[in-house]
Amino acid sequence: MPIADKIQKGITSPTYASRLAAESLTLQNQYGPEKIFDLSVSNPVLEPPPEFVKELQTFVDARQSGTHRYMENAGYSANRVMVAEQLKRETGLNFSKDEVIMTCGSSGALNVVFRGLFNPGEELISFAPFYPEYAPYVENYGGICKIIPAGPDFAPDLKAMETAVTPKTKAVIINSPNNPTGLICSQETLKGISDVLTRKGAEYQTTIYAISDDTYCRLVFDGVKCPRLLNYYANTIALTSYSGELSISGERIGYAVVHPDCQDGKDVFGALVYANRTLGFVNCPALMQNVIRRLPDTSMYLKDYQRKRNYLFGKLVGMGYKVVKPAGGFFMLVKSPLKDDAAFVSELKKHLILAVPGGEFQAPGYFRISFCVEDKTLEGAMNGFQKALASVK
């Protein structure tokens, strides 16, 4: 075999997302783009805010010498100071720039964290449902993803977590608001996770890290606050992205932070910086760092996403669908009218609607749709949702 076995397997067994992308293009060519209602993607269509465009133009016009060169692998010092100050305001914790690393989005941050932490055979515990790339990302570095099945309310099952922790457990990952449910972990849940990890770490004489995927923590609705795991467990590494809040997913910029009181925190941070360099990221884009540094408190599109969520939720519930109402993010999990969620997603496709089976997220019996799309896409899909439901009843 001329190429790596894992890559060959990936080529011959493409992910559902890649298959959907190909199917979407085929359908668009067949029926026309305006007749395809693609709710499978998580690629925000809202344009970046005017403040972003203004700062980008200002920076480009300034043509300052040296601003497109390499910098420290952790990112510009000024950006790291900006992030540390923002986190101080949000969490009350005494962050400094020496706990902040700028990354190529949250996916880049995940790979940097996994590479920095995991030895072959060590385990990552993930609560279903979850972002499916967690498993292949950690497997890139020899880690093993151990999945805790979802409960009836999709809240993390702490008893199951305690049972799942072994001497090989290196970390637990929490995503709140969650992709695909949009649900937020409560303070009680986060305290419970901290208690379990503290207790099991003492039992096994190991350090068990919590990885807090905060990608959607600033996209929350109805005035709800999103508790942060950073406030409950010192051995936490948190990460996020500017993709959603500034609608710049293609620019690939985010960051990871190590809790100021993390055990061996300096070593952990050093490992992340080393991983950022040796994975080939080197540093995250210089241009975007310079632009977002001037936008730490730019308003987000909360009203737009909340409006889209309310429209979609109201319409689907009115038709008779059972929907998990998201508290944040831009995803919605819907109960499949058929036991086989993939079969119902195929039925939706007959009506030119693209969705993702819940099984892809370890949530069988559901399907996920995204509402970070244009209003006309949501509105145009409603007739197809109604017909698909009627066809299986």
pLDDT digits (tens, 9 = 90+) for 32-43: 778 889 999 888
pLDDT of residue 239: 98
* DSSP symbols for 96-160: -GGGEEEESHHHHHHHHHHHHHPPTT-EEEEESS--TTHHHHHHTTT-EEEEEPP-TT----HHH
Q: 30 falls in which pLDDT band (50, 70, 90)? A: confident
CA 239 to chain centroid, in Å, comes to: 9
Q: 296 falls in which pLDDT band (50, 70, 90)? A: low
Using the predicted structure, report yes or no on whether residue 11 has a pLDDT greater than 70. no
**Radius of gyration over alpha carbons of the chain, in Å?**
21
Using the predicted structure, report yes or no on whether residue 307 has a pLDDT greater than 80. yes
pLDDT of residue 5: 76
pLDDT of residue 188: 97
User: In the CATH scheme, what architecture does the domain 5-48+301-392 have?
Assistant: Alpha-Beta Complex (3.90)
User: Of all residues in the chain, what percent carry a pLDDT higher than 70?
Assistant: 94
What is the residue-averaged pLDDT of the chain?
A: 93
Using the predicted structure, report yes or no on whether residue 311 has a pLDDT greater than 60. yes
Token digits of residue 163: 């049972």
pLDDT digits (tens, 9 = 90+) for 33-76: 788 899 998 889 999 999 999 999 998 888 888 888 999 999 99
pLDDT of residue 177: 97
Q: 18 falls in which pLDDT band (50, 70, 90)? A: low
pLDDT digits (tens, 9 = 90+) for 256-267: 999 999 999 999
More confidently predicted of 252 and 23 = 252
pLDDT of residue 271: 98
Task: Report the SS3 class of residue 299.
Answer: coil
Q: 20 falls in which pLDDT band (50, 70, 90)? A: low
pLDDT of residue 33: 72
pLDDT digits (tens, 9 = 90+) for 226-256: 999 999 999 999 999 999 889 999 999 999 9
Task: Look at the domain 51-292 and name its fold.
Answer: Aspartate Aminotransferase; domain 2 (3.40.640)
Q: 21 falls in which pLDDT band (50, 70, 90)? A: low
For residues 54 and 265, the answer to whether their CB atoms sit within 8 Å is: no
Task: Report the SS3 class of residue 71.
Answer: coil
Using the predicted structure, report yes or no on whether residue 14 has a pLDDT greater than 90. no
Q: Give me the helices (H) in 33-104, please.
A: 50-62, 77-91
For residues 20 and 356, the answer to whether their CB atoms sit within 8 Å is: yes
The amino acid occupying position 218 is: R
Instruction: Give residue limits of the domains in the chain.
Output: 5-48+301-392, 51-292
pLDDT of residue 245: 85
- 277-290 mean pLDDT: 96
pLDDT of residue 207: 97
Q: What's the CA angle centered on 75, arms 73 and 78, to 5 degrees?
A: 145
pLDDT digits (tens, 9 = 90+) for 188-212: 999 999 999 999 999 999 999 999 9
Measure Cα distances from 100 to 8, 43, 160, 297 in Å: 36, 26, 32, 18
pTM attached to this predicted model: 0.94
For residues 114 and 141, the answer to whether their CB atoms sit within 8 Å is: yes
Between 42-51, 304-313, 335-344, the lowest mean confidence (pLDDT) is in: 42-51
Burial annotation 98-119 (CB, 10 A radius, 16+ → b, else e): ebbbbbbbbbbbbbbbbbbbbe
Strands 254-258 and 236-241: antiparallel
More confidently predicted of 23 and 158 = 158
